[in-house]
Structure 1
Amino acid sequence: MEKHFEDLAQIRQHFIDYLLNYDLKRLTFIPMGFKNHIFWNCAHALVTQQLMTYYLSDNEMLVENDWVMRFKKGTFGDQNVSEDDVRTLIKLLQSTQVRLRKDYFAENLSYYRPYQTSFGIHLETIEDAIRFNNLHESLHLGYVMALSKNIL
């Protein structure tokens, strides 16, 4: 599993690089043909990871419920994002991937409630969730890359 945590750290670093390299106006701009912005994709990846790994293993999530409601599946990018939100997201992208690794190896996530993803992939174990999460975050990194080519 160590490789999956290394991959997650790399994906997260790409998200952080975008968050650090664009101003708030660019992070929240939704180009024609898109439903969300760069910030939403980064926050959505974080929230989804928390839902798939902590919520489905009956552990307390490391993000506030407000973030879950704003960035879960089915939400859309809004313009109500502050500089504080950007700073918070950067910290959470860093800390939650470190904590996930720690909690996994401490076996704090050993119970897992099976879940069927919208991709049609059935998650039976925390290992399935961690592997699928990297696929999901990579998909949203791809959206961030596309958005970055279409912002002001």
Structure 2
Amino acid sequence: MDKHFEDLGVIRKHLIEYLHAYDLKHLTQIPPGFQNHIFWNCAHVLVTQQLMTYYLSSNAMLVDNDWVMRYKKGTVGDKNVTENDVRLLIKLLQTSLVQLKKDYNSEKLSYYKPYETSFGIHLENIEDAIRFNVLHESLHLGYVMALVKGIS
């Protein structure tokens, strides 16, 4: 699984770079043709990772329920984002990956409730969830890259 953690680290590095590169106005701008903004995509990958790895393994998540309700699948980006939210997201994108690797290696995540993603992919265990998370975060990094071209 080390390669998957390494890949997630690269993806997260790029997401964090985008969060640092743009001001709040641009991070929350939704260009025509899109339903969400840069900040939403970055927060969504964090929330989804927490749901897929911690919630489905019956462990406490590092994000609170408010973040889950705002950034889970099916939600839409809004302008109610603060500079503190951006700072917290950057911190959580960094620390949650370190914590995930630590918890995976300690077998804290060994129990796993099987889940089928909206892609139709069956996740049977934590390894499946981590592998799928790489795909999911890559997809949203691609959205962020497209959003950057659409913001002014």
TM-score, normalized by the shorter chain, greater than 0.5: yes
Shift of residue 10 of structure 1?
Answer: 0.5
| Structure 2 equivalent of residue 28 of structure 1 | 28
Shift of residue 107 of structure 1?
Answer: 0.3
Shift of residue 6 of structure 1?
Answer: 0.4
Shift of residue 142 of structure 1?
Answer: 0.2
In 2, the alpha carbon distance for the partners of 1:115 and 1:20 equals 34
**Unmatched tracts of structure 1, length 5 or more:** none
| Structure 2 equivalent of residue 137 of structure 1 | 137
**Letter paired with 1:125:** N
Alignment of 1:3-152 (within 5 A): 3-152=3-152
In 2, the alpha carbon distance for the partners of 1:74 and 1:18 equals 23
**Letter paired with 2:99:** R
**Letter paired with 1:88:** L
**Unmatched tracts of structure 2, length 5 or more:** none
In 1, the alpha carbon distance for the partners of 2:134 and 2:66 equals 23
In 2, the alpha carbon distance for the partners of 1:120 and 1:28 equals 30
In 1, the alpha carbon distance for the partners of 2:132 and 2:4 equals 10
TM-score by length of 2: 1.00
In 2, the alpha carbon distance for the partners of 1:83 and 1:109 equals 32
In 2, the alpha carbon distance for the partners of 1:95 and 1:25 equals 25
Per-residue deviation, residues 63-118 of structure 1 (Å, max 9, x unmatched): 11110000000100000000000000000000000000000000000000000000
Q: What SS is found at the alignment partner of 1:7? A: helix
In 2, the alpha carbon distance for the partners of 1:15 and 1:139 equals 12
Number of equivalent positions: 152
